């Protein structure tokens, strides 16, 4: 039995994983009529399209390159033709438009030429990190942070421990559970490849103790490798959060405002480790992912492996469709997921699940005034004071909210879940964080504009000075012949005077 350290706070929501647990991942899904690939699928900037309308593409071909700042590549999930580059409804609660590349599959599923398969452990860590970058891999646990950047950050620190996160504490979701049951060997090899890249000493695979089949499969796959250990942690929410899993497995706490790198620890999700193994062992860029389709409105809930760009409604049809109109459609889990505007939106890299929830499952209740019971404080896994943060956030006093730890909030929703007044606390924190981000962006833009203005003024002053110097040089050049002529005339006059004096 694994030894773990207790974590602060947390809750035990009803798991509701039984409907999809025990069923194999559905992989044989017909191609949809169109694949819609938003250029914004990761933390940071949008990708930039490198294909044109009418162009034929092969499976695995790069169709979008990294933009400015944090970004990653985008690849064609199958062969076909680019029929449009246009705005579609974004898989986001706002329903705002998202520029997307629209591909019409040709049914051939024709791969572009792929590199030969060789031993990735014989290649240099930097070469492997570059390959991960070219494969367009992001963190598939929810953060969608470009994996190559995280690997390179790990190389800049002395990473001693790599943790592979198999927590999956959100209700309904069983994606990672089934990946570990069915593809344990590939995940373990992916973990060892990450270990090779960051050159760390040990690998710990952390799995909640309510997944015995996954634990057994991963232990069997890890058995031949002495520096890969599988440990179990208690099933509770939010154990799948990196900071909580680190504390449970190592007894060490990431400091406020700090990162796991500061402790010499790097965390990657099991699905990310699998994607890295597929890229480095088989040359396959990130084209698809496994996600959970569940909720009371889904006729036959299960896990499916879907190409990016596939409409959600197409996947639901493979599960028997919807038996009723959902009271809420959620991308992700019910605790941290985002409401979707419709089932027409596509699967993206960060789509870990889609829940079609009944009114009973949603259990919406009108909020009432705070009774200062302190339950949110007791439940907060980060040791914050949600009630105080919400008070300042509601008053648009974001500096006040920040003083109570808003930046350390992981937006897990435990405070909202335990609140007897049904106050949507996490909504206030998301609002405040969004406003703070916009203000930082505005301040950075203002600072950038000021720098440009100062640089322009300095350039204009320099050019004016150069013009003045050139004008003075030209004037001096004109005066020099004039002075010569005057001197010559004076000399001639002097000579004439001298001659006249001699004649006299």
Give phi and psi for 137, each to the nearest 5: -85, 135
Answer whether the bond into residue 420 is a cis peptide, omega within 30°. Answer: no
169 assigned to a ligand binding site: no
Rounded CA separation 133/93 (Å): 29
Q: Are 280 and 120 in contact (CB under 8 A)?
A: yes
Is 200 part of any known ligand binding site? Answer: no
Distance between CA atoms of residues 38 and 98, nearest Å: 6
Residue 445 CA to residue 260 CA, distance in Å, equals 30
Is 376 within any annotated ligand binding site? yes
Establish whether 419 is an annotated binding residue: yes
Residue with the two structure tokens 């232990």: 219
* Cα atoms in the 13 Å half-sphere on the side-chain side of 149: 15
How far does Cα 84 stand from its chain's mean position? 25
3-state secondary structure of 325: coil
Give CA–CA dist 363/352, Å, rounded.
23
The string of DSSP codes covering 96-130 is -EEEEEEEEE-S--PBPP-PPP--GGGS-HHHHHH
Structure token digits, residue 98? 């998202």
DSSP readout, 175-220?
A: HHHHHHHHSHHHHHHHHHHHHHHHT-SEEEEEEETT-HHHHHHHHH
Is 412 marked within a binding site?
Answer: yes
Q: Report whether 380 belongs to an annotated binding site.
A: yes
373 labelled as ligand-binding?
yes
Annotated binding-site ranges for [4Fe-4S] cluster:
370, 373, 376, 380, 409, 412, 415, 419
Annotated binding-site ranges:
370, 373, 376, 380, 409, 412, 415, 419
């Amino acid at each position: 039995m694994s030894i773990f350290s207790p974590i602060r706070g947390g809750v035990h929501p009803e798991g509701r994983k039984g409907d999809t647990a025990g069923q194999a991942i559905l992989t044989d899904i017909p191609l949809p009529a169109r694949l819609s690939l938003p250029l914004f699928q990761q933390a940071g900037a949008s990708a930039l399209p490198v294909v044109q309308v009418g162009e034929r593409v092969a499976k695995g071909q790069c169709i979008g390159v990294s933009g400015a700042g944090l970004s990653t590549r985008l690849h064609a999930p199958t062969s076909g033709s680019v029929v449009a580059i246009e705005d579609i409804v974004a898989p986001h609660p706002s329903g705002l438009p998202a520029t997307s590349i629209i591909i019409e599959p040709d049914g051939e599923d024709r791969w572009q030429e792929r590199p030969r398969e060789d031993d990735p452990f014989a290649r240099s860590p930097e070469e492997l990190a570059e390959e991960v970058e070219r494969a367009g891999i992001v963190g598939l646990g929810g953060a969608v942070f470009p994996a190559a950047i995280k690997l390179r950050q790990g190389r800049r620190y002395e990473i001693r421990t790599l943790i592979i996160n198999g927590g999956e504490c959100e209700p309904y979701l069983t994606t990672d559970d089934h990946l570990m049951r069915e593809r344990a060997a590939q995940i373990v090899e992916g973990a060892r490849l990450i270990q090779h890249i960051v050159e760390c000493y040990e690998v710990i695979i952390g799995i909640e103790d309510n997944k015995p089949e996954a634990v057994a499969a991963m232990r069997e796959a890890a058995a031949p490798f002495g520096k890969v250990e599988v440990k179990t942690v208690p099933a509770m929410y939010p154990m799948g959060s990196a900071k909580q899993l680190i504390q449970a497995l190592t007894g060490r706490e990431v400091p406020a405002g700090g990162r796991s790198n500061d402790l010499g620890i790097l965390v990657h999700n099991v699905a990310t480790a699998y994607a890295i193994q597929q890229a480095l062992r088989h040359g396959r860029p990130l084209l698809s992912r496994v996600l959970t389709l569940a909720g009371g409105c889904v006729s036959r809930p299960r896990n499916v492996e879907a190409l990016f760009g596939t409409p959600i409604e197409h996947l639901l049809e493979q599960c028997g469709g919807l038996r009723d109109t959902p009271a809420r459609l959620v991308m992700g889990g019910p605790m941290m997921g985002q409401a979707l505007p419709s089932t027409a939106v596509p699967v993206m890299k960060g789509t870990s699940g889609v829940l079609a929830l009944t009114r009973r499952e949603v259990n919406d209740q009108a909020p009432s005034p705070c009774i200062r019971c302190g339950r949110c404080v007791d439940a907060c896994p980060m040791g914050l004071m949600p009630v105080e943060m919400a008070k300042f956030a509601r008053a648009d006093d974001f500096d006040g909210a920040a003083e109570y730890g808003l930046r350390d909030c992981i937006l897990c929703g435990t405070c909202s879940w335990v609140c007897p007044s049904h106050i949507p606390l996490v909504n206030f924190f998301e609002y405040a964080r969004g406003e703070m981000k916009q203000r930082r962006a505005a301040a950075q833009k203002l600072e950038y504009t000021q720098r440009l203005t100062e640089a322009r003024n300095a350039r204009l002053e320099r050019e004016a000075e150069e013009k003045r110097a050139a004008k003075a040089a030209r004037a001096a050049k004109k005066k020099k012949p004039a002075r010569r002529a005057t001197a010559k005339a004076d000399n001639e006059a002097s000579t004439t005077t001298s001659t006249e004096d001699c004649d006299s």
